[in-house]
A and B are shown apart, each in its own frame.
Chain A
Amino acid sequence: MKLLSRLVLLLSFGLLAACGTDNNQQPLQIARGLLAGAVGGNATPQDPRVVLNREIIDRAATPVILVDTLQLSGSGTMISTGRAGRYSSWAGLDQAGVVLLDDGILTATRGYGDDLISSDVEEVVEALRIGEGAIAVRVMRFLDGEDDDYTRSMVCSFSDIGPEVITIFDRDISTTAVIEECRSGDKEIRNSYWIGSDGFIWRSIQYVSPSLGYFQIERLFR
């Protein structure tokens, strides 16, 4: 009995993680998830601002965006993984991603937790074209804790801040800065866009969800 117990003891600790053919047993991954707590995406890649420079970006010559999650204090580059009509989806190494309308307006996120599920921002597109004084309705959908979706509709007003030259990895770009201020009851959000002369959104800071706050999205290579 004693010997057997000891053998069993050895076995159980030598193989502390369960193993077998069932590829869904992921005890280590789950343990890591527990330790990591509720913050951040799926992994922490190196800070692209340190690793990247203009030369590398131009040599790669592929459309790439830089997403800074601001509140989660992580940032990563993403490349396009699919395009359907005016929508494009973008994902990074950590397998989290965003969906953009017309390459600039955030309509969804995935893989961050409390993601923005979908948005109706057609009126926002139009309002950004008009700029100062435009009004638009913005609709965003989220999930609650029991995976039911809920909708937040907001009325947004737009104002031009004026011309601004922004620098994205050593490249100067002339833009117009536009602010979008939205309201629904006592909830308020404030998005900023830096738009090139052809209407292309080079940089933006856009609201994502209650727990994620705002993301900054920059286009590194068009």
Chain B
Amino acid sequence: MNKVPGMILACLMGLLGGNPLGSAALAQETPARTTLNSYGLPGLIDIPSAFRMPDGDLAGTVSTFAGQTRGTLSFQITPRLTGSFRYSGLRGFSPEPITPTSDFTYYDRSFDLHFSLLEEHGIWPAVAIGLRDFGGTGVYGSEYLVASRHFGPEDQVAVTLGLGWGRLGTRNGFSNPLGSIDNRFDTRPGFDGFGGTFNTGQWFRGEAAVFGGIEWQVNDRLAFQLEYSSDTYSAEQADGVFTEKSPVNLGLTYRFENGTVLGARYMHGAELGLSLTFALNPARPPVIGGRDPMARPVEVRDPAALPYATAWASDINAATTLRTTLSRALVGEGIAVESLSVNASTARISVVNERYDAEAQALGRIARAMSATLPPSVETFEIVFLAEGIPLSRTILNRSDLEELQYHPDGTFLSYGRATITDASGLSDAGMQTDTVVYPRLDWSLGPYIETSLFDPDDPLRYNVGVELGASYDIRPGLTLSGALRGAAFGTLDESTRASNSVLPRVRSDSNLYDREADVAIRHLTLEHFGRPAPGFYSRVTFGYLEEMYGGLSAELLWMPVNSQFGVGIEVNHVQQRDFDQRFGFQDYSVTTGHASAYFSLADDYDIQIDVGRYLAGDWGATLSVDRTFDNGWRIGAFATLTDVSSEEFGEGSFDKGIRLTVPLSWFTGQSTRTEQAFTIRPVLRDGGARLSVRNRLRDVVRDYHAPSLDDQWGRFWR
């Protein structure tokens, strides 16, 4: 193996967090996984099949033969639609009309879509349509329409037959049957442009050809594949990558117990190839429901003591004493108690949840601690979640309901039904005794960090490892001075010498200069103010060094009612570009940038965000982001930005786009933690459609504690 497959493998493994699947198959029946081809999509060896992956599956595939290495991340976006991002290293190949030396490697990024038109049913085969490399530079550009069906008493034989265009139409191609609809389909125009656009002008154009194959599943583990490929690899053969002797490919795959699939194949009678597939499904964590310790039980009051004494409430130290007791009871649970207001019948606790990624689980634990510490006359518990010093939601629970429902067969559902979730803005403490923690307060942290940069053709995986020192000083609730310093210990980020060729203001494309010049970098140094101007409204003002490349002033207003899946926000920033050394200095470039944003959720499974406004380079446009969300915290999505910058001005990639993943650490460990890892993969980072990366955007601060999110994981209330 040369270094490219290793690198791509490392990259995918990193994304998938190592190989956690070992234990994923424990409980509920896991749907059988589909064989993936060398492009990481349902198929045999090179050709596609009409099957699909189980909904929500995330699969990483690395395949290599004759120096052609592909690393593909595929995601079953909906039950029918699969999307893939691929990074390939093509040794000894160049799409340019020159023949490269054999040690030259051409790097290529491509996106695919595979759509299941019909499911296999009765005598009818499964039918799928697909676009390979629909938006890249077109090296793998091809389209297909394919049918597959299982045969045999145990469905152990699968037969696939399809029609391919583009690359898949190069063997014994015949004139396009679609040409009878419109003769535009008869010829496939050449590729032009900067990549990254939808090459719609090429789709299903030009000659078509037939491909087919058969797969024999010997047992649960072992399968053999035989295929007739309609891809002649003519461009690769012309560059001398390999010489084809046969249109037939032979392969075998072996599925290990942990779900990893190793494949070996003999390609075109000439070359041996290998592939490795890892898959996981965010909806099936290794540990279901987590493995946190049992919570203390709800303390049931003695009904014989009714009516409960209320004299305690006139003690002037009551709130202080009770808050101290509650703080002690909850500190071990990772819950910080900020304030307590009480009277004889009601207690309102304001907390910061530092541990539980399932917010309803935090709620259940706080409620139980309240039942164990508060005097019996307190019947109403109000739990207010705070973040960045501002109140977000208030959950009202009846103590007698907790006592009744903690062991109730239907306790989860009933406790949700009897809870009331409201906005927590402007709550009055009138008639209550209040005790609050003391401000100002200093927090600090020191820890390692890893930073990476992908897809530089000179070194596709650059990284830095170093240490970050962070501190925050809460002057009063909602007003925070904070900063972070980073020092790289070692790495390769500073070795990049590629100069930006951008014709736009270099608002992002000089990023390697920031990596090179920075010694000890000020990542951010800001004064932030968060507020609740009115019910449903949230505000943020951030001033200072906002991010590694920009400093200035950022202001945001969000309207998002506590029970709503819908929100609207507006953000305005005036920023100046920082010096490359990331100290205190600034460069000449300044810009006013900002967006109006709309957020909504589709069927609770997809988050949609639309931002319209002015970007860092002064360009105007809009960004569409779509994320598949899992209640356990996984988010997998894609975004694209179109602005008034033309693809010529934008350069390689034509417009800004990428895919992103958010992975909760608790998914792997079963231990509650709010730590999550976010990855954004952009094929190319350029200057068009670039946004400011200010910290603590309001929607991310507030949404976890709004009713829809509490509802999503209410199953953990009694956990």
Contacts and interface: CB of A to CB of B under 8 A. Distances in A.
- Do these two chains interact? yes
Interface of A: 1, 4-5, 8-9, 11-12, 15-27, 29-30, 33-34, 37-39, 41-42, 81-82, 84-85, 87, 89, 91, 94-97, 99, 101, 107-108, 110-115, 117-120, 139, 141-149, 209-211
Nearest to B361: A147
Interface in B291-323: 291-300
Contacts of A4: 487, 519-520
B288 A84 contact: no
Contacts of A26: 671, 673
Interface string B1-38: 00000000000000000000011001110000000000
A24 B673 contact: yes
A211 B27 contact: yes
Contacts, number: 205
A34 B283 contact: no
A138 to B, nearest CB: 10
Nearest to B448: A12
Interface stretch (B134-142, B464-472, B532-540): B464-472
A5 B488 contact: yes
Nearest to B372: A82
A67 to B, nearest CB: 12
Contacts of B298: 82, 84
B375 interface: no
Interface in B594-619: none
Q: Of A9, A19, A143, A147, which is in contact with the most chain B CB atoms at under 10 Å from its CB?
A: A147
Nearest to B300: A84
Contacts of A81: 294, 296-297
Interface stretch (B153-161, B239-247, B410-418, B497-505): B410-418
A148 B407 contact: no
A149 B414 CA distance: 12
SS of B interface (majority): loop
A195 B282 CA distance: 43
Contacts of A141: 409-410, 412
A8 B467 contact: yes
B631 interface: yes
A137 to B, nearest CB: 11
A115 B290 CA distance: 9
B447 A117 contact: no
Contacts of B354: 22-24
B631 to A, nearest CB: 4
A118 B715 CA distance: 11
Given A8-B487, A24-B674, A145-B285, A37 B23 contact: yes
A46 B131 CA distance: 58
A114 B287 contact: yes
B439 interface: no
Nearest to B668: A34
B466 A12 contact: yes
B719 A118 contact: no
Nearest to B665: A30
Considering the complex of A and B, which 3 residue pairs feature the smallest CB-CB distances, nearest first?
A: A18-B447, A20-B445, A82-B297
Contacts of A17: 447
Given A21-B442, A24-B354, A147-B631, A9 B297 contact: no
B294 A118 contact: no
Contacts of B671: 26, 29-30, 33
B443 interface: yes
Q: Of B287, B300, B444, B674, which is in contact with the most chain A CB atoms at under 10 Å from its CB?
A: B287
Given A5-B488, A82-B296, A20 B289 contact: no
28 contacts: A5-B490, A8-B489, A9-B490, A11-B446, A12-B466, A15-B467, A16-B448, A20-B445, A20-B446, A20-B447, A26-B673, A30-B665, A30-B669, A33-B670, A34-B669, A38-B23, A85-B407, A89-B407, A101-B407, A108-B407, A113-B287, A113-B290, A114-B26, A117-B289, A118-B408, A119-B409, A146-B632, A146-B712
A38 B294 CA distance: 17
A114 B447 contact: no
A41 to B, nearest CB: 7
B288 A21 contact: no
A209 B292 CA distance: 17
Given A113-B291, A115-B719, 17 more contacts: A8-B467, A8-B487, A9-B489, A15-B467, A16-B448, A21-B443, A38-B22, A41-B291, A84-B407, A91-B294, A95-B293, A97-B294, A118-B407, A118-B410, A143-B288, A144-B28, A146-B712
Given A1-B519, A8-B467, A111 B291 contact: yes
A167 to B, nearest CB: 29
A159 to B, nearest CB: 25
Contacts of A38: 22-23, 26, 286-287, 670
Interface string B642-676: 00000000000000000000000100111101110
Contact of B489 (A12, A18, A37, A144): A12
B299 A82 contact: yes
Contacts of B406: 84
Contacts of B412: 117-118, 141, 149
B715 A143 contact: yes
Given A20-B447, A118-B411, A143-B289, A111 B294 contact: yes
A18 B445 contact: yes
Interface in B250-289: 281-289
Q: Of A114, A142, A209, A210, which is in contact with the most chain B CB atoms at under 10 Å from its CB?
A: A114
B447 A15 contact: yes
